[in-house]
Chain A
Amino acid sequence: MRAVLGDVLGLSPARVAAFDAETPLFGALPELDSMAVASVLTELEDRLGILIEDDEVDGDMLETFGALTAFAASKARS
């Protein structure tokens, strides 16, 4: 997840390494606009071999680094 956010948003490795579960994402990271959200989701699909449906995408899953990681982990397991 750190690699995806770093690669897509162009964040430095040091900056993404400092993310923890409580780090706010959507609305807090200026790099993460709606276009970038689309890129992050698509890159996650490609790397994890998952399919994210539109109705699964909401503000909650994008709110924090922890929420997004938990969402991706649950998709990868299912």
Chain B
Amino acid sequence: MLRFGPDDGPVVIASLPLFEEANRTRAFTVSILRSLADENIGSVLPDWPGTGESLIETRDARLLAMRAACEALVEQIARPAYAVGVRSGALIDASAPMDGRWHLSPVEGEAVLREMARTRPGIDVSTLMQATEAVELAGNLLSPAMLADLAGARVYDGEHVPQRVVRLESDPRTADLKLAGAPLWRRAEPGNDLALAKHLADDIAAWVRSCEG
């Protein structure tokens, strides 16, 4: 787990996307969190169970376990907590008692499955749902339990907790803010965009401060 910024005040709990997109967006997300630290907002980038440095094997990863770990972390930190989720990382904070959620280009679980299935010719989401053993997709072993978790996974959409959605200008879906930039999560070679990271950190910092009142 990486930590940035001050040890008090509100804390941002960041979630990378699942699977390959995590590698593509890690450096970018770290740039955002470093910029947030410059603005005196602390953050953590946890390795959720089955991701990053976690000791749990990818084949045993469950979205529901990641959500449970996120809930536990918010309770343990005991500071005002704000989720920052990139792409499918937005699925991880859904059940945690967050004070607010900020999502960059969030996607639902079914879209994740569709994209993963597309990397294997002859496989689609309905074949994945019938799997009785782990399926390898784009270099990841996904258990039937993980596939089922993803199939029903939605981004939190309650009304009583502040939420902000940011997307790229090239994305026609609705958002609170749209910024110019390339979708780094699609790029095979991990890249970074320091100017976009700074813009996003400014937006997160202003939003967290407005939520804190």
Contacts and interface: CB of A to CB of B under 8 A. Distances in A.
Interface of A: 3, 6-10, 31, 33-36, 38-39, 41-43, 46-47, 49, 54
A35 B191 CA distance: 17
Interface of B: 20, 114-115, 118-119, 121, 124, 138, 170-173, 182-183, 186-189, 191
A38 B119 CA distance: 6
Given A35-B138, A49-B172, A54-B124, A43 B186 contact: yes
B172 A47 contact: yes
B119 A8 contact: no
Tell me if B's interface is mostly helix, strand, loop or mixed.
loop
Given A47-B171, A47-B172, A54 B118 contact: yes
Nearest to A34: B119
Contacts of A33: 188
A60 to B, nearest CB: 15
Nearest to A32: B188
A46 B172 CA distance: 7
A54 B115 CA distance: 11
Contacts of A36: 188
Sorted nearest first, the 4 A-B pairs with minimum C-beta distance are: A38-B118, A7-B182, A39-B186, A8-B186
Tell me if A's interface is mostly helix, strand, loop or mixed.
helix
A43 to B, nearest CB: 6
Given A35-B20, A42-B115, A42-B186, 6 more contacts: A7-B182, A8-B187, A9-B187, A35-B138, A39-B186, A43-B186
Contacts of A46: 171-173
A43 B183 contact: yes
Nearest to B122: A54
B81 to A, nearest CB: 30
A35 B183 contact: no
B188 A31 contact: yes
Contact of B188 (A10, A41, A54): A10
B187 A35 contact: no
A41 B187 contact: no
21 contacts: A3-B170, A6-B182, A7-B170, A7-B182, A8-B183, A8-B186, A8-B187, A9-B188, A34-B119, A35-B188, A38-B119, A41-B118, A42-B115, A42-B118, A42-B186, A43-B183, A43-B186, A46-B172, A46-B173, A47-B170, A47-B172
